[in-house]
Amino acid sequence: MNKILLLLIVLITSAFTPVREESSVADKANAGFVIEATAGDSVYVCLGSGAYAYHNTRNCRGLKQCKANIILVPIEKAQSMPRRPCGYCY
C-alpha cells in the first residue's frame, strides 16, 4: 500500500513539474512553441530552385525534401531572397 501511494505521489508531482525555459529560437521550435523570427535571428534556407521558405530548425520536415545545400543565414537575407516562413516550423 505504501509503495503504491509513493508511486502515485511521484507520478503526480512529475506531471506538474515545470518545463525548463528554452534558450534559443530553435529550442523553442523543437519544444512545440509557435514563434516568430525577429531581426537578428538566423534561419535555415534550402538553395534548391524550387525552395520558397525559410526554417527555424535544421531538422524541419519542410527541409527534408531539399536536394541542394542548406545554409544558415540572417532572417533579413532569407526574406530578401525572397523566402517566406515555413508552414511547419513557424
In the prediction, which pLDDT does 38 show? 60
Mean pLDDT, range 58-87, rounded to an integer: 94
DSSP string, the chain: -HHHHHHHHHHHHHHTPPPPPP-SHHHHHHTT------TT-EEEEE-STT--EEESSTT-TTTTT--S-EEEEEHHHHHHTT-EE-TTT-
Q: Where are the domains of the chain?
A: 21-85
pLDDT tens digits, residue range 33-67?
A: 444 556 578 999 999 999 999 999 999 999 999 99
